[in-house]
Structure 1
Amino acid sequence: MTGRCVVSWIAAVLIFAGPLQAKADEIDDHLQIIAACGPGGQGSAAAKQAAQELINSGMEVLPQLLEAMDTDNILAANWYRTIYEQVTRRELKKTSPQFPLHSLRDYVQDAGHQGRSRRLVLGLLDRLDPNFRDRFVATQIADAEFRNDAITALLKQGDEFQQAEKFAAAARVYETAFRAARESGLIQTTAAKLKAVGREVSIIDHMGLVIDWHVLGPFDAPGKSGFDTVFPPEETVDLQATYPGQNGRDISWKRFRTTDKLGNVNLVTAIAPVEEAVGYAYTEIFSPRDQDVQLRCGADDNLSVWVNGKKVFARRQWLNGTRLDRFTAAVHLESGKNTVLVKICQGPQHKNPAVGNNWSMQLRFCDKDGASIGTRSALPQDSEANAE
């Protein structure tokens, strides 16, 4: 290519690049206007106008729009979704719609994008490339957004093996699904399927549930005073001590190991059926290494948690019920033994006497995805421990 040709080629590129860049900048400006909207109608009029400009622009907004959809601003996200739906719907009505299929597939497969946006694009691909979903989902067992879809697909495959009496193959598929499962329903389902083909697994170990405790109570706590009242175990845990409890009765620590499949400790059984009281649960767990983990817990009525003597969680909330993983807190575990103390309050009887006065707790340690981090009980074995 001669020098004159090179100059001419560069000039031609610049002629086309200028308007394209200007258009991209214009799109970005409109997206930024929408990104600035907030509660109380802040920026809503400007956002509405910017959204209409983007809708009118057409498919060229799609690449920048998809990137903008990775936002925690719910109001902006709703505007972006509206633009996306109108632009794509209009394109789909065309005789020969033109979509950047490769870019759309890449977007869905990129776990760095928000899950709701990836699912939105996957829904579009269902129309444009119907075979993509099955191929994609089958590979996403480690993807937090599509993990459950992948596990469901594995369970279907395992069921087909089982129906064909290929039990070893079914067991291998079910085991893969079980190891990947993080949601309690799927964990229980895969464990049951494994049991049906002769393989036993531990849901407790898989989820990092704490089931072995020393329990103490009830301390008297009139009304809802228990949360703020400091009782002796919060100052020193002495498993040999005896204390004055509710109704003048002496109370002392006793061992209790729950047999609930999801680690729920029924304190009505473990301690006593009470009202306006406080109970404590204490345990020791072994961690294979120093690690930063998640404490996930729940209680009826409310609870406070100390790990290695440091209060790491407290929530004043009455009549809330125990639900798996209701609360989460970041916790550091030391290599070796770690102590865990839990305070569980019990409030007055519900205004409706037909409503039972439940009293319970549940606690586990796991990683950010909900998987076991290798902890186990460090309490001495006690074959005489009470159990539900």
Structure 2
Amino acid sequence: MQVDPGCADRLLPNMTDDPSVELRRDAVARLIEQGQLVLKNRPPSAAIAVYRRALTAARDEDQVRTIAKQLRKLGEDVNLAQHFGFLMTWNVIAPFDNTERKGFQAAYPPEKELVLDGVYQGKAAKVKWLSHTTEDEFGMVDLNVPFGKLKEVVGYAWTPFRCEKEQEVELRIGCKNAWKLWVNGVLVFERNEYHRGMRMDQYRFPLKLKAGDNQIVMKLCQNEQLEDWTVQWQFQLRVCDATGTAILSDLRH
């Protein structure tokens, strides 16, 4: 049996849309290498075209970062939030009480009703919903920004996600706080653990979104720890398909 040494070179460039994440990654890696070679021998516009093709196909964070860095060096704009499908704009409300970590199980008003102009009793004063858009290109929603660096508190983030039709999606979350996730009033998952590290796509939840507006609610609990590495009160959430391809809301967060 003879092995064709040029087989991979011929086949990989055509696998940028392959449903296999591994084959797609190999194809993107080959395009990144090609872009580097083109940049040395041809006009920048030719390299940009190769890198753009690589970015369109890339799904893994490390490859996307590499490609985005090269494109930006060449003067190109890259919208990573849109590429990954991160939800950037939320309505947020806080602080509710999490003294002695009791807030995780407590059902505060945002778990019972979603009323944008609602005003509720918080931990020490009345609280209301605020509109908040993160500027982090990886969609990190930091509740320390609108509310300050608080401890022993609970916050909620709520956003609608509009679908033209019913469809299967994955919600992918990164978070190092204790949290709960609801979609259309149904509890999808909860994790009562604090400051154990986080990464992109740390948690993945396949589910079906309905046609029209879907209500996504995150509950985010901050505990009593005072070490520097416990200050984070944040999460990132994106909507995609099983391959990691972004699914964008018709509301365009």
**TM-score normalised to the size of structure 2?**
0.90
Contact 1:217–1:278 under 8 Å retained in 2: yes
2:95 aligned residue (218, 239, 244)? 218
1:280 aligned residue (146, 151, 156)? 156
Contact 1:223–1:276 under 8 Å retained in 2: yes
1:209 aligned residue (74, 77, 86)? 86
Per-residue deviation at 1:222? 1.4
Q: Map of 1:346-385 to 2, 5 A cutoff?
A: 346-349=222-225, 353-377=227-251
Residue type at the aligned position of 1:241: G
Residue type at the aligned position of 1:151: V
Contact 1:302–1:320 under 8 Å retained in 2: no
String of CA shifts for 1:93-134, please: whole Å, max 9, x gaps.
xxxxxxx55xxxxxxxxxxxxxxxxxxxxxxxxxx6654444
Contact 1:295–1:364 under 8 Å retained in 2: yes
Residue type at the aligned position of 2:60: E
The reply on whether 1:154 has 2:41 as its aligned counterpart is no
1:140 aligned residue (7, 15, 26)? 15
2:68 aligned residue (150, 174, 191)? 191
Indicate how the Cα distance of structure 1 residues 288 and 187 shifts in structure 2: closer, same or farther if over 3 A, else same. farther
The 2-side partners of 1:211 and 1:198 are apart by 24
Task: Could you list the structure 1 runs, at least 4 aligned residues long, displaced by more than 4 angstroms after superposition.
Answer: 128-133
The reply on whether 1:303 has 2:179 as its aligned counterpart is yes
Contact 1:300–1:344 under 8 Å retained in 2: no
Residue type at the aligned position of 1:308: N
The 2-side partners of 1:330 and 1:289 are apart by 16
Per-residue deviation at 1:326? 0.6
Residue type at the aligned position of 2:194: W
Who is 2:200 aligned against?
324
The 2-side partners of 1:311 and 1:305 are apart by 6
Residue type at the aligned position of 1:149: D
Who is 2:110 aligned against?
233
> Which segments of 5 or more consecutive residues in structure 2 lack a partner in the other structure?
none
Contact 1:227–1:316 under 8 Å retained in 2: yes
The 1-side partners of 2:162 and 2:125 are apart by 34
Who is 1:250 aligned against?
126
Q: Is the partner of 1:305 in helix, strand or coil?
A: strand
> Which segments of 5 or more consecutive residues in structure 1 lack a partner in the other structure?
1-99, 102-127, 380-388
CA RMSD of aligned residues (A): 2.1
Q: Is the partner of 2:32 in helix, strand or coil?
A: helix
Structure with greater proportional strand content: 2
Who is 1:266 aligned against?
142
String of CA shifts for 1:165-207, please: whole Å, max 9, x gaps.
4222212211111111001121122223223334323211111
Q: Is the partner of 1:172 in helix, strand or coil?
A: helix
Greater mean alpha carbon deviation, residues 185-194 or residues 170-179? 185-194
Per-residue deviation at 1:135? 4.0
The 1-side partners of 2:228 and 2:216 are apart by 35
Per-residue deviation at 1:313? 2.1
Rg (Cα) greater in structure:
1
Q: Is the partner of 2:76 in helix, strand or coil?
A: coil
Indicate how the Cα distance of structure 1 residues 361 and 243 shifts in structure 2: closer, same or farther if over 3 A, else same. same
The 2-side partners of 1:184 and 1:287 are apart by 25
Per-residue deviation at 1:259? 0.7
Who is 1:88 aligned against?
none
1:167 aligned residue (27, 44, 53)? 44
Per-residue deviation at 1:358? 1.5
Q: Is the partner of 2:99 in helix, strand or coil?
A: coil
Greater mean alpha carbon deviation, residues 208-217 or residues 318-327? 318-327
The 2-side partners of 1:157 and 1:354 are apart by 43
Contact 2:239–2:248 under 8 Å retained in 1: no
Residue type at the aligned position of 1:216: I
The 2-side partners of 1:201 and 1:354 are apart by 32
Who is 1:200 aligned against?
77
